[in-house]
Amino acid sequence: MNRTNLTPRQRVEIAMRGGHADKVPFTVYECMIAQCVAEREVRNRGACIVQRRVPVFKTHRPNVKVTQHVYYEGERRFTRTYYETPVGTVSQLDEAAGFTSWHHEKMFKTPDDYKTLLFMIQDERYEPDYEAFAQAERDFGDDAIFRSSFGLEPLQALISGSMMAMQDFCVQWMDNRDEILKLYDAIVANRRRLYRIVAESPVSHANYGGNVVPEITSPRMFREYYTPHYNEAAEIMHRHGKLIGVHFDDDCKLLAGEIAQTDLDYIEAFTPAPSTDMTLAEARQAWPGKVLWINFPCTAHLLPRDEVAAVTVDLIEQAGTPDGLLIGITDDPPPDRWRDSYRGIMDGCDRHAQEHPELYR
């Protein structure tokens, strides 16, 4: 393949397999770049859009009735969602907030809700939805790469998903662990139904959860409740020639050794110091066999364009080689800074390739 005439998607695919193209790829989540002149400019320069919102399967809960009540407090928009089952009803309260939402209330309120949550998990049904994904991929072309997901890891679904607040999980883990583990086992069964569906889909790669917080998840907990599921999914994905990664965007130093022992192909959204407790050089040393698909440090978005470019060059140099390295945007940048910042990141990727042609042959 001619490395000087590549599409944005091809650059990403080469890096995800551990290689390098004519420069380090720059990627942006589809929800973190607005359609405008600046967007057209960075896409023309090779930025690749990461599309995550076209699933390869449909999820049904045939015996759960879902209703919503939307209301406003001034300019603030709230949505109360009710989940009614034969064994009880739970609800959650969310507030719209730009690209994301604030979760003011999760489903779990008291231990009486365990039976309802268990029913909801066990009621989930899945079916492949490959054609919608394939059509979206064809429509968008080589300007984007499409990603699938297995959802959150079974235990992480209870720690940071929609069912429980993190502080409730911590209390319940100590006081009602048997009930927590019933939910966990049910989610494990559901995830196993998805491995083959995702692996046999048109997708090239899929994320398995993420947002793991080391203050909650100890190395021992990670080894017991996370690693086996990564490896089980990875075995099936690899059998079909597909890649698997995890969105590790928090402090990773405490868990670095455990992550290294997994069969994951790539670490996605890793955010280097000073935003977390590991530099990119430390991450490369800790995970030598894994692709690093990093999140550009959030604080650096505030810098002028030329300084953003300098940070980018420094990050690539910390990695030691452009092989298996991608720079992405996986957190919301400041709304008034992303245009200059994205340009600066691409300036840095171009500059490093021009200054070190021997690394890109």
| Cβ atoms 15, 21 nearer than 8 A | yes
Between CA 206 and CA 149 the distance in angstroms is 5
**One domain, residues 193 and 271:** yes
Contacts of 176 by beta carbon, 8 Å cutoff, 6+ apart: 111, 114
The number of beta carbons lying within 10 Å of the beta carbon of residue 78 is 16
Domain that holds residue 347: 8-60+124-359
Residue 65, H or E segment: strand 65-73
Q: Average pLDDT, stretch 131-160?
A: 95
Q: Tell whether 251 is covered by a domain.
A: yes
Question: What secondary structure does DSSP assign to 141-186, as a single string?
Answer: GGGEEE-EE--S-TTHHHHTSSS--HHHHHHHHHH-HHHHHHHHHH
Number of domains observed in the structure of the chain: 2
Q: How many Å apart are CA 19 and CA 352, to the nearest integer? A: 16
Summarize pLDDT for 303-348 with one digit per residue, the tens: 999 999 999 999 999 999 999 999 999 999 999 999 999 999 999 9
- Per-residue pLDDT, 3: 62
The CATH number of the domain where 270 resides is what? 3.20.20.210
Same domain, 164 and 46: yes
What are the strands, taking DSSP E only, across 20-62? 26-29, 48-51, 57-60
Single-letter amino acid code for the residue at 350 = D
Q: What is the pLDDT of residues 27-76, one digit of tens each?
A: 999 999 999 999 999 999 999 999 998 899 999 999 999 999 999 999 99
Looking at the domain assignment, is residue 173 inside a domain?
A: yes
User: Quick one: 91 and 18 in the same domain?
Assistant: no
**pLDDT at position 5, please?**
83
Report pLDDT for 2.
Answer: 57
pLDDT at 336: 92
Euclidean distance between CA atoms 312 and 136, whole angstroms: 31
Residue 115 lies in a domain: no
76 and 219 both lie in a single domain? no
Q: Is residue 214 assigned to a domain?
A: yes
Over residues 237-262, mean pLDDT: 98
Q: Which pTM does this prediction carry?
A: 0.95
54 and 194 together in one domain: yes
Are 62 and 157 a contacting pair, CB within 8 Å? no
pLDDT digits (tens, 9 = 90+) for 269-303: 999 999 999 999 999 999 999 999 999 999 999 99
As given in the structure block, the two tokens for residue 112 are 């009486």
pLDDT digits (tens, 9 = 90+) for 253-269: 999 999 999 999 999 99
Could you give the CA distance from residue 215 to residue 166 in angstroms, rounded to a whole number?
Answer: 11
Q: 206 with 240: CB under 8 angstroms?
A: no
Tokens 């949550």 belong to: 117
Mean pLDDT, the chain, whole residue set: 96
Q: What is the pLDDT of residues 93-103, one digit of tens each?
A: 999 987 678 99
Q: Given a cut of 70, is residue 19 above it in pLDDT?
A: yes
Final residue belonging to a domain, choices 50, 76, 109: 109
Q: Is residue 268 domain-shared with residue 323, that is, in the same domain?
A: yes
Same domain, 45 and 80: no
Pick the last residue of a domain from 109, 141, 166: 109
